[in-house]
């Protein structure tokens, strides 16, 4: 049977006592510009607030399942078992989509009918929805690298065909942290066709209470388990790299330096075997740093955010005496920031109260280019935050 020109998309949101975030996730689904969406919320919690949130959007939610589950994977599988769409996805209660994400994915499937899975770019935000960074680990699909070296696919940006899921089986319910990576690896092992769409599709919240942040040793064990199950190499490079990262970011400076020196041969061997840099700038920003290229784009979905203005703080990199950065907001010029050695940090505040746009796009363009250690660093993004209804 030929695929529909407007295939039905089924999206599942698992939630467990997360009413604080759920409404933003719901709005990001029901306000998409694609009409054929079946939305299923699976609630394993016991709080009274979640049903109240769901009730406010009752007509837009195809099914609401509220019952105990055996973890997140079980909850998502319950949703998939009820889903009727040709295309499937899940977005966790504390994550959310960019406007137009679903229609962008559907256009990819329509343009290339052999596709089985589409994934894109993600922005990390804090619990209030403020910009943190981009998921710079993303890259074009390579099955060997996915299975052996890195989960470079951001889960909330993914959409996949029901036929592909049925081919490899549902999520492994024994996994609590890495069920998504395991699914991508199984799809890759089955020869499924992946496509990386270089577009911002979802926002991923990052805060201390998330499973990813608090997983610790349990998460590391799962990474080793999934890596060993799916890898194509003798050495589980992805698990070793994650263990190295945890040592560097989770301990004191002295221990971090010692771990870095101890594991340097592993890093060198991994990079040599991969034959390329594992992390590159995305939208003009480097991984987990304030360093910015000559043109930078800061983009955020604005579902559920009260906003009056935004505050942008820029700094001057070492070795540069002066820099001027022009600022555009949703395609409109709002001003310039002049930074020099006598004023190495400058702040620009601009109004966004009247904006009806469901997303915010800030483009920063530096007047001069500057190289540091062989890479372009034209200014530092010291801070960016959206201010609430109080006057700026």
Which pair of tokens denotes residue 108?
Answer: 């990819």
CA 196, 198, 201, 206 torsion-angle sign:
positive
pLDDT of res. 353: 67
51 contacts 43 by C-beta, under 8 angstroms? yes
pLDDT of res. 170: 98
d(CA 310, CA 69): 41
Does this chain's domain 9-214 share its CATH topology with 291-387?
Answer: no
pLDDT more than 70, % of the chain: 87
pLDDT of res. 261: 55
Scored b (16 or more CB within 10 A) or e, 327-340 reads bebeeeebeebebe
pLDDT of res. 251: 47
pLDDT of res. 154: 98
User: What letter does residue 350 receive in the DSSP assignment?
Assistant: E
pLDDT of res. 253: 44
pLDDT of res. 262: 53
pLDDT in tens, 9-32: 999 999 999 999 999 999 999 999
pLDDT of res. 40: 98
pLDDT of res. 345: 95
Reduced to 3 states (helix: H, G, I; strand: E, B; else coil), residue 190 is coil
pLDDT of res. 239: 85
**Domain 9-214 classified CATH 1.10.275.10?**
no
pLDDT of res. 249: 59
Write out the E strands in 71-173: 87-90, 96-97, 117-125, 131-134, 159-161
The answer to whether the pTM exceeds 0.85 is yes
pLDDT of res. 255: 46
pLDDT in tens, 205-250: 998 876 555 556 788 899 999 999 999 989 888 888 777 666 655 5
Report residues of the chain scoring pLDDT below 50: 1, 251-257, 259, 275
Question: 295-301 and 131-134 as β-strands: parallel, antiparallel, unpaired?
Answer: unpaired
pLDDT of res. 256: 45
CA 182, 185, 191, 192 torsion-angle sign:
positive
Architecture of domain 291-387 in this structure: Sandwich (2.60)
For the chain, give every domain's residue range: 9-214, 216-274, 291-387
pLDDT of res. 220: 87
């Amino acid at each position: 049977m030929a695929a529909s020109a407007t295939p039905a998309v089924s999206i599942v949101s698992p939630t467990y006592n997360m009413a604080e975030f759920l409404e933003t996730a719901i709005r990001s689904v029901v306000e998409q510009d694609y009409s054929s969406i079946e939305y299923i919320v699976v609630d394993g919690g016991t709080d009274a607030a979640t049903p109240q949130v769901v009730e406010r959007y009752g007509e837009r939610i195809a099914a609401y399942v509220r019952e105990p589950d055996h973890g997140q994977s079980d909850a998502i599988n319950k949703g998939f078992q009820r889903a009727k769409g040709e295309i499937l996805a899940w977005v966790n209660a504390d994550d959310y989509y960019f406007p137009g994400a679903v229609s962008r994915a559907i256009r990819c499937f329509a343009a290339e009918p052999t596709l089985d899975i589409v994934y894109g770019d993600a922005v990390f935000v804090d619990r209030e929805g403020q910009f943190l960074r981009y998921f710079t680990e993303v890259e074009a699909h390579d099955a060997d690298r996915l299975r052996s070296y890195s989960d470079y696919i951001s889960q909330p940006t993914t959409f996949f065909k029901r036929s592909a899921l049925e081919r490899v089986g549902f999520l492994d319910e024994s996994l609590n942290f890495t069920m998504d990576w395991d699914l991508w690896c199984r799809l890759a092992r089955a020869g499924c066709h992946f496509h990386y769409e270089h577009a911002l599709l979802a926002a991923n919240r990052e805060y201390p209470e998330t499973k990813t942040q608090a997983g610790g040793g349990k998460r590391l064990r799962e990474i080793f388990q999934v890596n060993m199950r799916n890898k194509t190499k003798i050495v589980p490079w992805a698990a070793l790299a994650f263990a190295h990262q945890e040592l560097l970011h989770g301990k004191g400076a002295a221990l971090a330096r010692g771990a870095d020196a101890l594991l340097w041969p592993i890093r060198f061997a991994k990079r040599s075997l991969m034959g390329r840099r594992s992390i590159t700038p995305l939208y003009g920003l480097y991984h987990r740093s304030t360093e910015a290229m000559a043109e930078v784009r800061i983009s955020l979905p604005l579902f559920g955010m009260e906003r009056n203005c935004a505050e942008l703080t820029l700094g001057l990199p070492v070795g540069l005496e002066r820099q001027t950065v022009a600022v555009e907001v949703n395609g409109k010029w709002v001003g310039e920031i002049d930074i020099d050695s006598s004023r190495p940090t400058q702040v620009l505040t601009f109004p966004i109260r009247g904006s009806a746009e469901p997303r915010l796009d800030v483009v920063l363009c530096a007047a001069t280019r500057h190289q540091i250690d062989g890479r372009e660093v034209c200014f530092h993004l010291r801070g960016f935050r959206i201010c609430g209804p109080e006057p700026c």
